[in-house]
Structure 1
């Protein structure tokens, strides 16, 4: 990776780490060793948008996650925490990007309108991760693990609804992430799968039989067996690069074959509790 690319990765990292503070452009210039006379133009050329807009998009993404998945936070507090002076100002901006008011989005999260606006950030993160496509792979023996599962079947952009319901069920059953590990079973590649055929399981470890429930949660197991695992630190925006690396370069260079079980994630730390650049996800590829 070139020095200039590395500097712009530092820009994103600095913004993510300091989302709660006013953006200090002088400090950013110092962080990336760029003259303030050229910083704005270079950032706009590299990110495809002004750096101020990039910061606003990252704050708005965090606000949307807080709305969808943290029902203990009220809308005004979320607005103020993400740099808006009032509920009204937050609602106007939020509706512009999501085609829903914050209240409507909280009731039924839908990320579809967001995708095209956020695409430059997603593309940049994927591009940067691809530049650094050598990852540390460990071979481990994964133990048989009983899990409680909510199956998402349908468009990836509507996954938020399923996550919301699963969090609700988890709270009712007192299986917080502090005492129960969080997993995802990833059956399909969203880039090549029709939205209506997409399959993704949201899970948590549980040694107890799941009682009949209105949420649709069922028992499953992650079988014991050998896995290749990569620890991904950073946003989910670029986690597909890790998955592709395991399936392509690493698997081709190894003496292993895949087992008859989907690739799965263990969520070690969560956004928005931690900034996106500090999220930790272990990516497991079942092998034999």
Structure 2
């Protein structure tokens, strides 16, 4: 990593930290934060986590709890006021989060007990070039995928949701005797699941095939034309998030890559019904500016 690249992502993390600190008493809107730091809102949380080791929501919570601690330690704020300042309407939820962060209760700080803040350094020292993560850069035409949308993210994966959506697709494709659909299957996480309610996060499961009859009742996903970085992943779908995280930390950040505000697309190259998990192949496409 060059010093300019390192400074770029230090500035990225510092800008976010400064913005959060200045707006602890307000709702922090991802669109505003994204515009401030000049990073796509789709990729914002993953880049921040790769740079700092924190998910963005966790970082904001930590900063608010630190602020509450300061208010209590000053002796000028009640526990209820400190709780509200940290964004907690429930006293019990505030107390649990406070104890997890500091190892003591809010009223103990109010009485003068000093607690230790448990946090790693703001910037990770692991964002270095990963020689295994060198993609093919490809120019792709615009394409329309046909499939189904669903909601639900759990255990760091859309695996369960994807399985149910593809099972439903399989039943519909039986009507037209289309059994080899996994030769062109795609999966797309429409939002970053770490930026809101994970159970509401949307996922698209479909195929790269245009000649499908309208009576199948399929939804459409538009895969935009442009330049894409294509990575090859081998292994279980449930562990793919680890490779995606590595791409952010070991390629996007060290190479100072500018990403378009568009979803990552996964193309599945073999059928999980007759392929061992360790042999599953997936192409992962990152959208480039």
Q: What TM-score do you get using the length of structure 2 for normalisation?
A: 0.47
Higher relative contact order (Cα pairs below 8 Å, separated by 6+ residues): 2
Q: What TM-score do you get using the length of structure 1 for normalisation?
A: 0.47
